[in-house]
Every structure is written in structure tokens, then in C-alpha cells.
Structure 1
């Protein structure tokens, strides 16, 4: 009920959000982002190689790319799916095909304030570098904007466990090999990360071409592809790696002074599709 009230208040604030220039993370932003994501998923806007319309998701963070891209990659019958990082723990996502047809398990470090166990979703808590799952347990592993936090200080936002205050910038590679282990042969792994000018902060890091290559090599895929997206004054667009190699991340937690493009977070993402 608390979340329903919060969402209703945010939707009421949407006209004011638009009137005040659509500032990221202000009242009304969540509704605008959710509506953008749902429309993109339902229209199949990020089907492979499709060009995004001008102004797409302007002043909205990278989830407006990651979620529609993910849904465009999922098979009609996903089978057993692991959400490694709990990025899919939202009602507007789990109720949409093809995800609603999946046998979904969500794994993250600690319990969250909202869950959907009543919809037969399983919740597991632990370290993605060392899971309790048997070999070849899943048909699909999804990891949306998660591995950039693995091995770093996760006590800032995700857990109170002081053992998760780390400084291991290569920790994500252990998670990648674990994803491969728990995937069935021929299984699908979908990973997204912030991309651009390499940067390591206490709770996240931005990936560059070298790190993406390391990630792929650690997985040893039978096949793979990488889609790159950038953000600018005219919203999000499809691009190639070299065009966004110097993209800079905007960290809202460090201050609210936006640049001219009003980036909400990452200015580029790499969306990686791996076949086990």
C-alpha cells in the first residue's frame, strides 16, 4: 500500500514535472520514466539495429535503454530465469510478456522493501560471485547494471553487511564465471553496464572497451554481440563503441548541478548478449 500511494503521488506530480523542465529525479520523474520504458517495451522499440526516434528518453536515465533492450532479447518462453542483481523487481516489468511467462528467481545481497512472492517469484540473498545454485540451473541469466557494483562498497545503498565494503575492481569477473557455470549449455546471458570514460568510485565503476573485452573473455561464449547506446542533448541514440569512449557518468549522489544535457546518470551503456 505504501508503494502504491507513493506511485500515485508521483503520477499526480507529473504535470508539475513537465512544467518545471523535466528535471531528473524530481517529483514526477519516476512516472515519466516508467511510462517511457513501458511504451518502448510494448512497441518493440529496441529490436536489433532499430534506430531510436529523435528525443527518445531525454533527461531519463539508462534504464530507458536497458529494460527495452532486455525485453527485445528474451525468448517468448524464457524458462528458468535468474535476475542477478534484482533489477527486474518491479511490477510493471514482471507483469509484461515475455518475462511474465518465466520461472523467475531474483538474487541480491539483502532483502528489499518490496517483493512479489505472491506472484510465485523466488527471492534468494547472497553474493553473485559464489551462488548456491547447481551447475546448469538456468535458461537465462539477466544482470542489469549490477556488475559495476560487485567487489566495491555495497554498504552505501544495498546492504548493511560491512564485509561488503570492498575495493576489488576485478570482482565482477568472478560473477561472470559464476553466471556461465549456472547457465545451461546454449543458455542466454544478458548484461548491461555503464560505458565510457573509465572511472572507479567507491560504489560503482564505469566500463571501457578493455573491461568489456575482459568480461566476454571470462565468459567464453559460444557467440556474443554488444550493442552500444549514447546520450546527448537529443536523448538516447544507438551508436558504436568508439563514439562513446569518453562518455562521462553523472553521479546524482554527489550533487544536483546538471550539465546542459541534463543527464540523469550514465551517458552511455553497453548491452552485452552472451550465449553459453
Structure 2
């Protein structure tokens, strides 16, 4: 069990078929744990590499070679990655690539295009990932298929990626010309995970897109908490790149990245550590956790925290700045509680910490399934 207390299995269901979670240690605390087995199943069912190379956009599968080795045909691929230098990788911009393919796979890559990540510079255009998907569609031969995965939930500009939403993905069809009939989309939600980074077990379920409407990137678990799996089949002709996007007429609101996204994988100090279920021992007076020592601009902020206290105790949760010399907000707790409050800052505050302090000596444990500090909606 993780912080949500769910039973964690070694498989998940994709279209009612059981697939094993990826257990290779590279990036396995993220959505890679389901993306890799889904991609391998897609490629095998499509007969990838048996007659001609398939195209991988973004050098991802190479890090999971042990899973590819039982399927020699999957080695027959062309790899396109603008920045990553590795044997067999073509360092070509996706938008400059012209060769057609009958089969394309692209795992958690398009959301970074045009953003400040992996060698890219921030373009200022949040819709470049949609342009990239249109280009992938155009690179398919007639009748060809592609599989793409992207983070999905609340529309977010996290700086280094764009998290897709329903409204954003609709632009792919309404403004960028990809036929709706060409796309089949599945959705997954991350519900729990072991609270460690060494090949943690996870719990993902296939869901409807509505279940992800408020899902944030990096909260409560690190990296994507929801993903969309987009399957494209080429119908008709290429889409003219002169298709006029609706950027000027469709005013999308991009939620910024939160200042604090969780307790377990952001730089908090946790003197006693925590176990795989996210329980922190709290047997003596003192700090249970504090951090992450960040700077906050003058704004209205919303703090949301779900605190589970197992046992008896008297606690205070504070927000301080100036290395704990200035108190910005405080609340006492004596039992499990959901906390939601507004923090108003009239000036920039530095070395801001959320501090959780225990006052007595009773034996108990603390879990914090969610902890968010975000700019409050409808305020600048």
C-alpha cells in the first residue's frame, strides 16, 4: 500500500487485458511503468519491424532493452530525437523530418516540444505540442498507425511541459486539422504507489476523461498523475501546415505549476524519514517535516493538505519565511483533518517553509496523502 492505502498489484488492465507493470528501474516511479508495456503490446500487435523499420520519436525504448530483447523485430526501428546523442539516433527536428512510416510510436515526448526541456528553449507558444502531433499524423503512410502518450488532466504549463486537457486536445481536431475519426483515445489515472523511488509498485486504472478533469501534474505523486493514450490512423491526405490555429479566438487558461506539490518527493526535510506507505514516525516533540525553502511572489495562495494522524497527538502546521523567523500562517491539529486556507502575501517572501510540529510525547504516525500550495484562482 502507498499513501492512498490501496492494494498494489503487479499488473494493470488495458482495454480489459492484463499487462505487467514495467519493473525496470529507469524512470519507473513515473508513468513509464504503464507506457512501456502498452507500447510494446501495440508494436507487437501491429507486427512492428517484421517487414520494415518503425519510427520512434523520442529515444525512450532503448532504456528498456531487457523488455525488448525477447522480441527481436522491435530492434528494427528508426529513432528520431532532436537533442539526445546516442548510437542509431537521428538528431533531426521532428518538423524537418519527411520520411513516411507505416508505424510510429512516441512516448511522453510531444508535451516537451517547444518547452524549456531537454535542450529546447521555451517558445511562448503553448500549442506547439499540437503542431507536433499534426506532423506525426502527416508522417504516417496511408492507413498507417501511431501511438502517442501525453500527460493529461487539468491544462497546465509546467515550464518544461504542457499537460493536455480535454479542451486542449479538442484543438487537435478543431484547429489543427486531424480528423476526429482518425483518433482513438484512452485515459489512465494514477491512484497510489509505494513511497520510494527504487522500482515502486503503482496502481493505475483506465478511466473516463472526466475523472481526470482536476488532475494535476506532480500531485499527489511525482510526474504525471493522469495520461492520455492517443492512437492515430492515417485517413485521407496530409494536413496542410497552413491550417490556421484558433489561438487568437480560443483563450485557454494554463494553470501554472504549483509552488508545493507533495510532501514525499519535493525537497522537504523529514528527520525520521517515512516507510513505503508514507507513514512518518511522530513519537516525540519536534518537527515531523519542514521545507521546501522556496520564494513566493506577492499573491493570494491556496494551501490544501490532507493529514492523517494515526494515534494521539497535538500538532501545529505553520507556514513561515525567513528561515522560520517570520510566521505567515498557522493552524493547530489534534486529529486527522483536511486543511484548506488562503495565504495572502503583500510582499515577496524568501525561504518559505511548511512546518509540521508535534508538541507531546504520545506514540503516533503521520501520513500526508496530499499537500498543495498553489496560486488562488481568480486572483492575480
1:49 aligns with 2:53: no
Q: Does 2:230 match 1:272?
A: yes
1:250–1:139 Cα change, 3 Å: same
Which residue does the alignment assign to 2:347? none
Alignment coverage as a number of residue pairs: 209
Q: Select which of 114, 121, 124 maps to 1:167.
A: 124
Alpha-carbon contact 2:185-2:229 (below 8 Å) kept: yes
Match of 2:110 among 144, 147, 167: 147
Q: Where does residue 32 of structure 2 map in the other structure?
A: 63
Q: Distance in 2 between matches of 1:233 and 1:111?
A: 32
Query: CA-to-partner distance for each residue in 1:204-262, whole Å, 9 max, x for gaps?
Result: 111101122223553326533111110113621111100111111117xxxxxxx4xxx
For residues 56 and 73 of structure 1, the distance between their equivalents in structure 2, rounded to whole angstroms, comes to: 15
How many angstroms apart in 1 are the aligned matches of 2:159 and 2:48?
38
**Aligned residue in 2 for 1:185:** 142
Task: Pick 1 or 2: higher relative contact order, CA cutoff 8 A, min separation 6.
Answer: 1
Q: Which has the higher strand share?
A: 2
Tell me how large the CA RMSD over aligned residues is: 3.1
Deviation at 1:169, TM superposition (A): 0.6
Shift of 1:143: 1.2
Please list the CA deviations of residues 74-123 of structure 1 after superposition, one character each: whole Å capped at 9, or x if unmatched. 2134432111121222223442427x3453111112234xx4x4xxxx32
- Alpha-carbon spacing, 1:146–1:111, altered in 2? closer, same or farther (3 Å): closer
Partners of 1:202 and 1:152 lie apart in 2 by 6
Aligned partner of 1:6 in structure 2 is none
Contact (CA 8 Å) 1:46, 1:72: kept in 2 or not?
no
Is contact 1:148-1:205 (8 Å) kept? yes
Distance 2:134 2:70 in 1: 29
- Distance of 1:191 and 1:237 partners within structure 2: 18
- Where 2:111 maps in the other structure, the secondary structure is coil
Q: 1:193 to 1:140 in 2, by over 3 A?
A: same
Over 3 Å counting, the alpha-carbon distance change for 1:173 and 1:71 in structure 2 is: same
TM-score relative to the length of structure 2: 0.49
After superposition, give the CA deviation of every residue in 1:126-170 in whole Å (9 maximum; x if it has no partner): 222x12323xx211111111111111113xxx12x7xx3422211
Partner of 1:5: none
CA distance 1:84–1:46, shift in 2 (3 Å): farther
Query: 2:66 corresponds to which residue?
Result: 92
SS at match of 1:109: coil
Measured in 2, the distance between the counterparts of 1:204 and 1:96 equals: 33
Where do 1:14-33 residues align within 5 Å?
none
Partner of 1:200: 157
Which structure features the higher share of helix residues? Answer: 1
For residue 112 of structure 2, give the secondary structure of its aligned residue in structure 1: coil
- Any unmatched runs of 5+ in structure 1? 1-20, 24-35, 252-258
Partner residue of 1:131? 96
CA distance in 1, matches of 2:33, 2:173: 24
- Taking a change above 3 Å as real, the CA distance of residues 184 and 46 of structure 1, as seen in their structure-2 partners, is farther
TM-score, length basis structure 1? 0.66
Compared CA separation, residues 204 and 77, structure 1 to 2 (3 A)? closer
1:51 Cα deviation after fit: 6.3
Please report how far the alpha carbon of residue 187 of structure 1 lies from its aligned counterpart in structure 2 after TM superposition.
0.6
List gaps (5 residues or longer) in structure 2.
4-8, 194-202, 235-380
CA deviation string 1:162-186 (max 9, x = no partner): xx34222111122122212221111
